[in-house]
Amino acid sequence: MVLTVHVSELPHMKGQHLGYSEWHEITQRQVDQFADATGDRQWIHVDPRRAAEGPYGGTIAHGFLTISLAPALLTEIWQVSGVDMAVNQGLSELKLRSPVVVGARLRLGAEVASVRQRPRGFVEIVLRLTFETAADEQRQCAAVANLVTLVHAESAESAESAESAESAESAESAESAESAESTEHAATQPAGGRRAPA
């Protein structure tokens, strides 16, 4: 279950583990597409035949491919409400611990390392990320990193405007449903208000 946290709760969450993403299989297609996008086509990534005789027994994912999955996997762990934007500030203390072999499964764990208020309504969140890989019934730590993100707290005016728009939409939907029901009811009544013959 995805954890939903309001931006106002963030300062009290330092040290809290947020949970884990689902397990996802790493495919050769993913690796090949990443190789094409980055130009890193080293044989340990894209040549399964040669890699089978190499030190890992098969092709492995690029380390930066593993790290690049963080945003998608984090959406399976948590979401912050009460914000209107988020800005990636980068990574620190990144270490690639174990190779992720193609065909292995990968998941992400996240912990709130720190939270601090920044100027112009921003809040800085540092998440400690741990990537785990599982293959042949063995589980290993694939990578660790600190992800620094700035989220911007939604202004009271924006929140009120969004709430008003949602209320108006709900009222309009209810009115449309009521109008449709009245029309349907009227259509079933015979002309002149007399009971229709059986």
Q: What is the pLDDT of residues 44-88, one digit of tens each?
A: 999 999 999 999 999 999 999 999 999 999 999 999 999 999 999
Q: What is the end-to-end Cα distance of the chain in Å, rounded? A: 56
Residue 157 in this model has a pLDDT that exceeds 50: no
Q: Which residue has the tokens 């009290």?
A: 12
Residue extents of the structural domains in the chain: 3-157
Give the pLDDT confidence score for residue 155 in this predicted structure. Answer: 78
How far apart CA 40 and CA 32 sit, in angstroms, is 9
Q: Residue 33 corresponds to which tokens in the numbers above?
A: 């597409």
Q: Residue 141 corresponds to which tokens in the numbers above?
A: 């730590």
Q: What is the pTM of this model?
A: 0.77
12-21, 34-43, 178-187: segment of lowest average pLDDT:
178-187
Give the pLDDT confidence score for residue 189 in this predicted structure. Answer: 55
Give the pLDDT confidence score for residue 171 in this predicted structure. Answer: 54
In this prediction, residue 137 has a pLDDT band, given cuts at 50, 70 and 90, of confident
- CATH class of residue range 3-157: alpha beta
Give the pLDDT confidence score for residue 161 in this predicted structure. Answer: 46
Q: Are 149 and 87 in contact (CB under 8 A)?
A: yes
Residue 115 in this model has a pLDDT that exceeds 50: yes
How far apart CA 96 and CA 47 sit, in angstroms, is 21
Give the pLDDT confidence score for residue 35 in this predicted structure. Answer: 98
18-32, 116-130, 139-153, 174-188: segment of lowest average pLDDT:
174-188
61-70, 104-113, 117-126, 168-177: segment of lowest average pLDDT:
168-177
Give the pLDDT confidence score for residue 182 in this predicted structure. Answer: 57
Give the pLDDT confidence score for residue 197 in this predicted structure. Answer: 46
Mean pLDDT of 111-135: 96
